[in-house]
Amino acid sequence: MTTAIETTATELEREARRAHEILTALEREAAGIDRARDAAIDAGDAAQALRLEKRKRELPSEIAVATAERDRLQTVWGEARARERHAALEREYAAADAEWATCWNNFSGPQAEAFARGAARVRRALIRKVAIIAELRGDPTLVRTLFAAERHGTAFALRLAETVVDFMTYAPGLKPPVLANLVDGAGAAERLVWRAFFGDTE
């Protein structure tokens, strides 16, 4: 159970580092205490030698306590870092999910409609074009025949849609796919979609 005001990972890191410093100082003291005691004996300072001998007996338990405290704080620090990272990831996910929803709504709404309306305008213009050709030839019945024969833009639109689907499902972490180097409308569509997906970061 957490308290109302949780200790942050940064604060716990400071505490863990301080505990490590205390432990290091005790270990350093233990490593040099025999030399210090011998020096006191050589100097004839019996009282200091006795104090150091007593201190030598105290150090193992203090080091044990300091080690346990250092280990405890490092564990708590690690847990706090994990909690903060998890909370940060949850915030990042919420932002990414909101961005995805906005992008999808734009793509499936106004952007898709703009593509469809653009295609519809091309169709209407083509109908007008072949109707004039049929009239020029003096045979209005040619409209449907001429319209069916006019394939300009069809390969582009079809390959554009196919490539968008291919690239939307292209696995992350892979190198960008190599284009087929098509030279007609299909190739132009592939290049356009490739630039949108892999040519920039917009």
pLDDT single digits (tens) 13-23: 999 999 999 99
Q: Alpha-carbon distance 136 to 120, whole Å? A: 24
- Tell me: the pLDDT tens digits for 108-130? 999 999 999 999 999 999 999 99
Q: What size, in residues, is the chain?
A: 202
Specify whether the CB–CB gap between 142 and 133 falls below 8 A.
Answer: yes
Handedness of CA 22, 26, 31, 35 (dihedral sign): positive
Report residue 46 as tokens: 């019996």
Q: In this structure, what are the phi and psi dihedrals at residue 40, rounded to the nearest 5 degrees?
A: -65, -40
- Looking at residue 151, its pLDDT comes to 73
Specify whether the CB–CB gap between 33 and 55 falls below 8 A.
Answer: yes
Q: What is the dihedral of CA 164, 169, 171, 176, to 10 degrees?
A: -10
Angle between helices 154-168 and 185-194 (to 10 degrees): 30
Report residue 90 as tokens: 């949850």
Angle between helices 9-42 and 46-106 (to 10 degrees): 160
The radius of gyration computed from the CA coordinates of the chain, to the nearest angstrom, equals 39
Confidence of residue 200 (pLDDT cuts 50, 70, 90): low
Confidence of residue 201 (pLDDT cuts 50, 70, 90): very low
Report residue 64 as tokens: 């044990």
Residue in 153, 134, 154 with CA at minimum distance from that of residue 143:
134
- Tell me: the pLDDT tens digits for 128-175? 999 999 999 999 899 999 998 887 678 888 889 999 999 999 999 999
- Tell me: the pLDDT tens digits for 44-66? 999 999 999 999 999 999 999 99
Q: Please, how many CA atoms are within 13 Å of residue 2, restricted to the half-sphere of its CB? A: 9
- The label of the residue with tokens 């898709």 reads 112
Q: Alpha-carbon distance 60 to 111, whole Å? A: 73
Average pLDDT for the chain: 90
Kindly report the pTM of this predicted structure: 0.65
Residue 185 has pLDDT above 50, yes or no: yes
